[in-house]
Amino acid sequence: MKRDIAFDRLPPGEVNELPDPVRASADRLEREIRTVSQSPVVSAVLEVADAVLMILNPQRQIVAFNSRVAEIRSPEDLLGRRPGDILDCSSASGPGGCGTGPSCGTCGALGAILACQARAHPVESECLIGTSRADGGALEFNVRATPITIENTTFTVVSLRDISSEKRREVLEQLFFHDVLNTVAGLRGWAERMQLGPVDLSRVGERIDFLTQEIEREIGDHRAILLAENGTLTVGREPLRTGPLLRDLAAVFSGHPSARDRRLDLGPPAEDVELVSDRSLLLRVLVNMVRNAFEATASGRAIRVGCQAQPRGVRLFVHNDEAIARDVQARIFQRSFSTKAQRGRGLGTYSMKLFGERYLGGEVSFSSSPEGGTEFAIVLPA
């Protein structure tokens, strides 16, 4: 009779302590690879697995893998390396590569492997990996780590199941419903005020018009993300000036909930520069920058939006005084990653990069420090 393995579910959180970066000696690694390759149990496990499977030694180095590894990486020269190294993880920059970088403390795969090694019990988690590949995409996996003992040495069997599609669908659906329902609640509130008694119809009409435009904008944003990820988004080109564009941006947030008790200042610098771009997509990028800045800004404070001409193009920026934690900065543009607690958040910074670089041909970046605050920017060719 088949028995399901009981996996400990690793909750989201940080790894308490990053592991020792030291790797096994060449002689020891060679013995471990030979030991595992000669085990009939390992051979059977690798053959029947329906997911990417790797077997790690106590130093988390790969000593065996199955053929499905080819789905994510060429199987050449994998032995002795660590999982993040072969996945081109952008955080694998520490002294020992995977597991020793400044952002590795939030890695679900590392957490599952370390917990499995410490408890000698199967552990399951989810992992979002930002890659250093040319497309800048992220990989999302369900990770299962299971201990296995071979000739008195305990190894870790790690399976990776790609859940990118289902996570993307989940995030898009939750974000869409979250945003649209919030705006509908605003419409309902104004409708209730009209039923309670005399109201200023001019003011009510203005607010209802604003909220319906917000719903249109939110639907358009989500449709654009779907089309962009499918590679079918159409980009327009039209002459535009940054002065009117930034004033329109400020108007979007004139009554926006995220701007309540906060102020948007234009510049300095706020130069009026001409460029050719897709106005709608560019405005979407800037709206996400401003929304993130407002959400990070304390009540009573201001954010600054501006523009400056540069030798290589036009730079548009959004600045706020708060700093982003260092362990968060390396993952800020990953889809689904968010500094907020709500499920379904985290598409704002991802869509900045998606629209701004892949479709507008610009360069999206940010800088953040306790002294200088945080500034997101997009540089577009003039």
Helix, strand or coil, per DSSP, at residue 83: helix
Distance CA 54, CA 41 (A): 14
Helix, strand or coil, per DSSP, at residue 255: coil
Two tokens, residue 285: 């990028």
Please give the helix or strand (H or E) that residue 148 lies within, else none: strand 138-150
Most confident segment among 90-99, 217-226, 243-252, 360-369: 360-369
Q: Would you state the pLDDT for residue 13?
A: 56
Per the listing, tokens 């705006």 go with: 183
Contact 100, 91 (CB under 8 A): no
Is 8-162 a CATH 3.50.50.60 domain?
no
Compare 337 and 50 and report the one with higher pLDDT: 50
CA 105 to chain CA mean position, Å? 16
Q: Residue 102 pLDDT > 90, yes or no?
A: no
Q: Would you state the pLDDT for residue 343?
A: 40
Amino acid at 187: L
- pLDDT tens, position by position, 142-177: 999 999 999 999 999 999 988 877 776 776 677 677
Distances (CA, A) of 158 to 20, 52, 110, 116: 19, 8, 10, 10
Pick one of 3.30.70.3270, 1.10.150.20, 3.40.190.10, 3.30.565.10 as the CATH number of 235-382: 3.30.565.10
| pTM confidence score | 0.61
Q: What is the mean pLDDT of the chain?
A: 83
- pLDDT tens, position by position, 308-338: 999 889 999 999 999 998 767 766 776 555 5
Among the ranges given (127-136, 205-214, 230-239, 307-316), the one the predictor scored with the smallest mean pLDDT: 127-136
Two tokens, residue 288: 């996400």
Q: Would you state the pLDDT for residue 334?
A: 63
Q: Residue 133 pLDDT > 70, yes or no?
A: no
Q: Residue 7 pLDDT > 60, yes or no?
A: yes
Helix (H) and strand (E) counts in the chain: 10, 13
- pLDDT tens, position by position, 235-293: 889 999 999 999 988 888 876 777 889 999 998 888 999 999 999 889 889 988 998 89
Two tokens, residue 313: 């193009």
Amino acid at 24: A
Q: Residue 1 pLDDT > 60, yes or no?
A: no
Distance CA 147, CA 149 (A): 7
Two tokens, residue 374: 């945080």
- 199 — pLDDT class (breaks 50, 70, 90): confident
Work out the angle at residue 131's Cα, subtended by the Cα atoms of residues 351 and 110, and round it to the nearest 5 degrees.
Answer: 115
Q: Residue 55 pLDDT > 80, yes or no?
A: yes
